[in-house]
Amino acid sequence: MGQQFDSANAMQSAININEQTEENRIVKKVLNALIPLAIIGLFVSFIDRTNIGVAGPPMSAALGLTSSMFGLAAGLFFIGYVIFEIPSNLMLRRFGARIWIARIMMSWGLVCVAMAWVSGPNSLYTMRFILGVFEAGFYPGILFYFSLFIPGKHLARAYSLFQIGIPISLALGSVLTAALLLMDGILGFSGWQWVFIVEGGLAVVVSFVCLKTMANTPDDAKWLTKDEKEKLNSYLKDSKQEINDPANHGLSAVKAIFKNPRAWYYCIIYIFMMIGFYSVTYWAPQIIKLRMGLSNVDAGLVSAIPWAVATVVLIYVSSYTSRYGRKGPILVGVLAIAGIGMLISSLATNNTIALVGLCMGACIQAAVPLLYSFPAQEFSGAKSAVTLALINSVGNIGGFFGPYLLGILRDATGADVIGQLLLSSSFLIAAFLAIGLLKKNRPLQT
pLDDT, one tens digit per residue, over 225-239 is 888 888 888 888 776
For residue 162, pLDDT beyond 70: yes
Residue 33 CB coordination number (10 Å):
18
pTM: 0.79
Name the nearest CA neighbour of 44 among 127, 142, 119.
142
For residue 249, pLDDT beyond 80: no
What count of residues does the chain have? 446
For residue 190, pLDDT beyond 90: yes
Given pLDDT bands bounded at 50, 70 and 90, which one contains residue 347?
Answer: confident
CA atoms within 13 A on the CB side of 340: 7
Given pLDDT bands bounded at 50, 70 and 90, which one contains residue 104?
Answer: very high
Given pLDDT bands bounded at 50, 70 and 90, which one contains residue 224?
Answer: confident
Q: Where are the domains of the chain?
A: 33-438
Per-residue pLDDT, 219: 87
Per-residue pLDDT, 247: 47
Quick one: average pLDDT of 318-342?
85
| CA 394 – CA 25 distance, rounded (Å) | 36
Q: Indicate the angle between helix axes 97-114 and 67-95, nearest 10 degrees.
A: 160
**Is residue 418 a contact partner of residue 409, using CB atoms and an 8 Å limit?**
yes
Q: Where are the alpha helices (DSSP H) in 366-416?
A: 367-378, 381-395, 397-413
Name the nearest CA neighbour of 151 among 295, 28, 255.
28
Domain covering 33-438 assigned CATH 1.10.10.10 in the classification: no
| CA 182 – CA 169 distance, rounded (Å) | 20
